[in-house]
Structure 1
Amino acid sequence: MDVAQALHDGRHGDPFSILGPHLKGDSAVLTAVDHGAATLAAVVDGEAHPLTRVSDGLGVFSGRIPAGAPYVLRGGDGNGNDWEYQDAYRFGPVIGEMDEYLLGEGTHQRIWKVLGAHVMTHEGVDGTHFAVWAPNAQRVSVVGGFNHWDGRRHVMRKRGATGVWEIFVPGVGDKEVYKYEIIGPHGDLQPLKADPVGFGSQHPPENASMVRDIRGFGWQDQEWMGHREGNNARTAPIAVYEVHLGSWKRHPEEGNRPLSYIEAAEQLVDYVADMGFTHIELMPVSEYPFDGSWGYQPVGLFAPTVRHGPPHEFRNLVEAAHRKGMGVILDWVPGHFPTDAHGLGKFDGTHLYEHADPREGFHQDWNTLIYNYGRIEVKNFLVSNALYWLEEYHVDGLRVDAVASMLYRDYSRAHDQWIPNKDGGRENYEAIAMLRDTNSIVYGQQPGIMTVAEESTSFPGVSQPVDSGGLGFGYKWNMGWMNDTLRYMEQDPIHRQYHHHQMTFGIHYAFSENFILPISHDEVVHGKGSMLDKMPGDRWQKFANLRAYYGFMWGHPGKKLLFMGQEFAQPGEWRHQEQLSWGVLEDPAHRGIQNLIRDLNGLYRGYPALHVKDCDPAGFQWIELNDNQQSILSWIRRGSEHDAEIAVVCNFTPVERQGYRMGLPSTGRWREVLNTDAEVYGGSGKGNMGGVEATDTAWQGQPASAEVLLPGLSTLIFVKDG
């Protein structure tokens, strides 16, 4: 194919070498393509310089113009209709040499500053700069309404060995819809692709990227940012409210639409603050095509989902939480991505982001693709994305989804369906390196943030520093504790004596990691029922069991996490397409659970003994762990030297225990600061008249003790006066 034909067809791999002005002596030779023009001229300082069609039937024109002069192109259809526009090929590159070097090296920590679509003024003209990584493509074009989705019109400039293509398109601005049209290495046209580093998207099911100008928000959360490190520390009270933003509340009268970011900034933030939680954790907000994935199969990792509004409005939500003294954690999904044609799969006609071999590159459980963590550009893409959310949106933490699936090459695979590492083992060295690099960089670049691993195995050192051989996460979800204790609570109380160890075993490893105790969305979907459904007995006993369990959880070492709706005993399983059952709060039993969670959060935040040593064995001591016959547990929580000690006792049978002697670490008055059987929580109202008096009768290994009334199915919390 000759050059003119290749330019006309948009298949020339280096159009900038020919199109645009090129100096020839004292003037410049200008070559341009306009497929709809019968005539074409360059207008310089109001004077038209006609260009000549280089070949019949082709929209390629050429001619001389004054050297170095700005110009616009004027086309005509021969019927008196003219149009003028800026020529994208007269503009120089935007990406600098240092950016190009770092991109090629795979060490550019802020690739979103270079790649993606950036509204800017370039060489005195307003427009948008587009840049995308597609190293194996023969040609890449940006297409959209601005060029009639015609891939021949804005073929991009390839930047050497980096594999990055770029172009500045004058006149394109905020909210313009676009995709990339790519010709693969064998000359085949690929499906139109969304921008991997795009900042916005169309509303699903439409899936084009959208230009979003994310500059200039004007943050007003300096006070929070200045002291958030203390709010995320191991010694801080951390009580997380996990939210699926699409179903927390909806507007049935408006087509059942979910809340906008702006509405959530008021309604959600005010509610969570009133309930006493310290952090809001949002299930993934990175753009995703399928509602039923809940965001865990993202396509646009750099785009806050448009389901709730544009990027700046997501910032409004984060800022509103900060003004109320709460942090915001995002679920982050670097473990896999969906196979949608507009996504990352075979992006430039090759297995670019994913492994080519399905034994490494395909998740059988989820029918998704796995990132090739060993490719430096892919690792850089993910590490930079983590930093992006923390830096651009002031997010306070990232909870990394499905870490176990990343750590092991044989995750959920038969023996002949995976490839060992170079040493013959099952560990995924490349994924481990990516996670370590991510944690090292984000903690180094954004002081005070936290990262959290959802990791369901006993992989060592998940929340230990990288320089000590760990993965470098700040916290780890305690999945073992969750599974054991929920299996215990599902037992009829008469059988609990045979499962007593399920409530005590967690202490054996409670301080091996910095743990968060999670009751997440995963526990109330796929036929598992709601938390209330899990509890045995009649209606009253179900609520009493749940109250006692929550008391046990908040008294137990470890930070806390509760999925939305469970704070008022959502009666049924969570459904992503419906709002929570807020109407049940008219029922005193449900309202009582809500009151309990609010008060538990207040105690947890107010008494250092309940949080300062959540991750320190010095903060815990058993009083009684072996009373399986009565299904009673008791323990002490301690903070710093001068903090009041806390004693917790749980009765997991419906039998009331009067005169139960409980060991205590000191004599004197112990106030009953919480009783899950209190009437305000929906209980029977039985208790200890505000407290007990401990005498010097040694008991249960403690130097003092007191007679305590333990209501059936209850947890009581006492604090030492003074």
Structure 2
Amino acid sequence: MKEPKTLPLVLDEAWLESCASAISERYQRYLEVKSAIENHSGSILEFARIHEYYGIHFEKLRNGWVYREWAPEAHNLFFMGDFNGWNRYSHPMKRNHRGDWEIFLPYEEYKGRLSHGSKVKVHIENQKGAFDRIPAYIRRVIQDEQTHDYAGQVWFGPKFKWSDGSFELFNVKKQPLIYECHVGMASEAHKVGTYLEFEKEILPRIKQAGYNAIQLMAVMEHPYYGSFGYHVSNFFAPSSRFGTPEELKSLVNTAHEMGIAVIMDIVHSHAVKNINEGLNEFDGSDHQYFHAGPRGYHEGWDSKLFNYGKWEVLQFLLSNIRYWLEEFHFDGFRFDGVTSIIYNHHGNISFDDPIKYFDEGVDQDAITYLQLANALIHDLNPDNIIIAEEVSGMPGLSRPIEDGGIGFDFRLAMGIPDFWIKTLKHKLDEEWDMFELWHELSNRPQKEKTIAYAESHDQALVGDKSIAFWLMDKEMYFNMGLEDENLVIDRGLALHKMIRLITISLGGEGYLNFIGNEFGHPEWVDFPRAGNNWSYQYARRQWSLRDSESLKYKFLADFDQQMIQKVDDFKVCAASHAQQLFLEPQKKILAFERAGLIFIFNFHPFESLFGFEIPVSKKGNYQIILHTDEEEFGGFSRLDKSLKYKTESNATLKLYLPSRVGMVLRKV
């Protein structure tokens, strides 16, 4: 038998030589399943159109509505809703030639009864009894304000008129600068924000801040608001608590007109276990969409786990991807919980041997699903952006499939925020380790792109704190006024800016910030729940803090804006990895070069250095173009940006390095 060709991933990563056959096998599995899909449907694009078959559709040729459902182990299905006075048995569905359940309602007979906005459900008789369920492919789900009961809604409104045809995604993908946000908590009011409010009030702020992409959380319908959108019930329905599908489309359209890409947080890692709202036990079995028995249940998340090896599940999830991209013009996805997807143990082991990335703990069907998903997304548009939230370090995660990878464009640098929080929680400023800092921010494969971030929503959720709150805590309540003098606030502002500057410049090929954290939003994030007496106090963003001319929050926001502008101007994240120029552990000095710029940091809490020599790669004159100590950013203005620094004969720059300051220089 002919030996399989060694794939580029192994050739580039010598430490994976012992896993060469396993990497080749996962590539072959992908090719085999892809070939089976092409033999079945002609192409993966056609395969991912099952949402145009299942669900409720108006068929012009037959002049009526058709509703189809896949429920192989159900005994009987009945369509019901406003159109038949919620009679559970007057409209039985029949099995068609494919073995699916189907019913046709002629337009002439049902016009005025079944129309845009009509509420519907499906009554299912199965081995466990009889239940009223929401159609699996429903496009809109609403909750009754009195009974709190959920129902599907027929949605045939006026076709949305897109005007985003000139939007170009190519340049965003070169260097994604992502603003992670949640529509519901974006308002300052004590309520759930809406798509329209976000479009009118928040998008202009994001544009002004300089970010070129937003990452929308909690888009897919979820019954419990406090789940942050992670317990999805209806995979084809945008959350109705924020508004209508057309209002979400308007948000995306306006973002595109502003030059902002819209990345959706897609949750294909698990599903809500609720019987009434979700997919669980839809046909009466525990294995229709999910694995049977214990394997189909995630104890840590209290949710159900998909069976990625099942043909119909594969088609459901891939069609879900195509639906969001085409129907709502999303520009890609951030895949949630990839570690949980790809391992049967959900990553709850120590990865101390490379073979653990490929042994029996890996769900090979899940790996193949992710490869197919990434292939589909890029087939629809090569410039679509695909990001993996993955913590184990799975080799080749963001390498092309043909290289032996899984096909994501970027992976989140999840170790960086963990490093920052660990450092702030457990180390005095004098104990910060420059070698560890350099390693954590720069250690990544040369050919795998990374989204760096100092903190995301994960670090801000209740039970943890944002970086600003770790740094300044309760002092933020009393000492953020311009006239207030407070050493805790001074330290917090300085380190907040430095942490962001070194993370964006050193940590990856893209950058992410969570909504409001750029101006040091105080406190944690906590959604209304019984434990907080259903309060919205911590489920909102207090923009008035950032806008106030009498508070110091504006300093952090203004610095972030200038930082993002410089990174965009010089394409810092798009440049090759940084080259270390100097590291001095005792004095807490770190300097490196990237994108033709020199980045220098003095993390020492009190020692400023005069005439300190920093080696550079090119002789010439240099000038500071940004530093964290500028007065307009709440600093002490200890550096003069008008000065030019000429290299010495030994190709070094003699500089004044104030304590707790980061600076950026360019050759002039």
TM range (shorter): 0.7 to 0.9
Residue number among 563, 576, 579 corresponding to 1:621 in the alignment: 579
Q: Name the residue aligned to 2:172.
A: 231
Q: Name the residue aligned to 2:136.
A: 196
Q: Name the residue aligned to 1:534.
A: 470
Equivalences for 1:202-351 in 2 at 5 Å?
A: 202-203=142-143, 205-213=148-156, 216-224=159-167, 227-232=168-173, 236-251=174-189, 256-342=190-276, 343-351=278-286
Q: CA deviation at 1:406?
A: 0.7
Stretch of structure 1 that moved more, 160-169 or 379-388: 160-169
Residue number among 545, 548, 566 corresponding to 1:584 in the alignment: 545
Change (3 A) 1:530 1:282: same
**2: CA distance, partners of 1:113 / 1:470:** 31
Q: CA deviation at 1:120?
A: 4.9
Change (3 A) 1:461 1:563: same
**2: CA distance, partners of 1:223 / 1:244:** 26
**1: CA distance, partners of 2:471 / 2:75:** 61
Q: CA deviation at 1:707?
A: 1.6
Q: Is the Cα–Cα contact under 8 Å of residues 67 and 104 in structure 2 kept in the other structure?
A: yes
**1: CA distance, partners of 2:292 / 2:327:** 35
Q: Name the SS of the counterpart of 2:329 in structure 1.
A: coil
Letter in 2 for 1:201: V
Q: CA deviation at 1:669?
A: 2.2
Q: Is the Cα–Cα contact under 8 Å of residues 688 and 708 in structure 1 kept in the other structure?
A: no
Q: Deviations over 1:11-36 (max 9, x none)?
A: xxxxxxxxxxxxxxxxxxxxxxxxxx
Q: Name the residue aligned to 1:56.
A: none
Percent of residue pairs bearing the same amino acid type: 24
Q: Deviations over 1:378-400 (max 9, x none)?
A: 01101111111111111001000
Q: CA deviation at 1:164?
A: 4.2
Change (3 A) 1:544 1:250: closer
Q: Name the SS of the counterpart of 1:708 in structure 2.
A: strand
**1: CA distance, partners of 2:50 / 2:417:** 38
Q: Is the Cα–Cα contact under 8 Å of residues 159 and 165 in structure 1 kept in the other structure?
A: yes
**2: CA distance, partners of 1:391 / 1:397:** 11
Equivalences for 1:21-100 in 2 at 5 Å?
A: none
Is residue 664 of structure 1 aligned with residue 616 of structure 2? Answer: yes
Q: CA deviation at 1:468?
A: 1.6
Larger helix proportion of the pair: 2
**1: CA distance, partners of 2:641 / 2:564:** 22
**2: CA distance, partners of 1:106 / 1:634:** 48
**1: CA distance, partners of 2:250 / 2:238:** 12
Change (3 A) 1:635 1:456: same
Is residue 695 of structure 1 aligned with residue 647 of structure 2? Answer: yes
Larger strand proportion of the pair: 1
Letter in 2 for 1:213: F
Change (3 A) 1:346 1:686: same
**1: CA distance, partners of 2:507 / 2:188:** 35
* RMSD of aligned alpha carbons: 2.6
**1: CA distance, partners of 2:99 / 2:665:** 63
Q: Name the residue aligned to 2:661.
A: 714
Q: Deviations over 1:574-624 (max 9, x none)?
A: 23333112232224421100001111111011113x1332xx34xx21111
Equivalences for 1:168-567 in 2 at 5 Å?
A: 168=105, 170-171=110-111, 172-184=114-126, 186=127, 188-203=128-143, 205-213=148-156, 216-224=159-167, 227-232=168-173, 236-251=174-189, 256-342=190-276, 343-411=278-346, 425-490=360-425, 492-498=427-433, 500-509=435-444, 511-518=446-453, 519-535=455-471, 538-558=488-508, 559-567=510-518
Residue number among 620, 633, 636 corresponding to 1:681 in the alignment: 633
Q: CA deviation at 1:535?
A: 2.4
Stretch of structure 1 that moved more, 405-414 or 278-287: 405-414
Q: CA deviation at 1:462?
A: 0.5
Change (3 A) 1:217 1:306: same
Q: Is the Cα–Cα contact under 8 Å of residues 588 and 682 in structure 1 kept in the other structure?
A: no
Q: Is the Cα–Cα contact under 8 Å of residues 182 and 216 in structure 2 kept in the other structure?
A: yes
Q: Is the Cα–Cα contact under 8 Å of residues 660 and 707 in structure 1 kept in the other structure?
A: yes
Q: Name the SS of the counterpart of 1:575 in structure 2.
A: coil
Is residue 111 of structure 1 aligned with residue 46 of structure 2? Answer: no
Q: Is the Cα–Cα contact under 8 Å of residues 188 and 542 in structure 2 kept in the other structure?
A: no
Letter in 1 for 2:162: W
Provide structure 1 residue ranges, at least 5 long, that are not aligned to the other structure: 1-97, 416-420, 639-644, 699-703
How many residues were matched structurally?
Answer: 587
Change (3 A) 1:243 1:268: same
Q: Deviations over 1:696-722 (max 9, x none)?
A: 332xxxxx122212222121011111x
Letter in 1 for 2:302: N
Stretch of structure 1 that moved more, 112-121 or 145-154: 112-121
**2: CA distance, partners of 1:652 / 1:424:** 43
Change (3 A) 1:477 1:162: farther
Q: Deviations over 1:20-72 (max 9, x none)?
A: xxxxxxxxxxxxxxxxxxxxxxxxxxxxxxxxxxxxxxxxxxxxxxxxxxxxx
**1: CA distance, partners of 2:642 / 2:346:** 52
Q: Is the Cα–Cα contact under 8 Å of residues 93 and 101 in structure 2 kept in the other structure?
A: no
Which of these two proteins has the greater Rg computed from alpha carbons?
1
Q: CA deviation at 1:564?
A: 0.7
Q: Is the Cα–Cα contact under 8 Å of residues 489 and 545 in structure 1 kept in the other structure?
A: no
Q: Name the SS of the counterpart of 2:129 in structure 1.
A: coil
Q: Is the Cα–Cα contact under 8 Å of residues 441 and 506 in structure 2 kept in the other structure?
A: no
**2: CA distance, partners of 1:106 / 1:166:** 27
Is residue 647 of structure 1 aligned with residue 608 of structure 2? Answer: no
Q: Is the Cα–Cα contact under 8 Å of residues 625 and 666 in structure 2 kept in the other structure?
A: yes
Change (3 A) 1:412 1:363: farther
**2: CA distance, partners of 1:574 / 1:148:** 43
Point out which structure has higher relative CO (alpha carbons under 8 A, 6+ apart): 2
Q: Deviations over 1:522-579 (max 9, x none)?
A: 0112322121122277121111111111111222142110101101101111233331
Change (3 A) 1:325 1:106: closer
Q: CA deviation at 1:493?
A: 4.8
Residue number among 73, 84, 92 corresponding to 1:136 in the alignment: 73
**1: CA distance, partners of 2:663 / 2:629:** 8
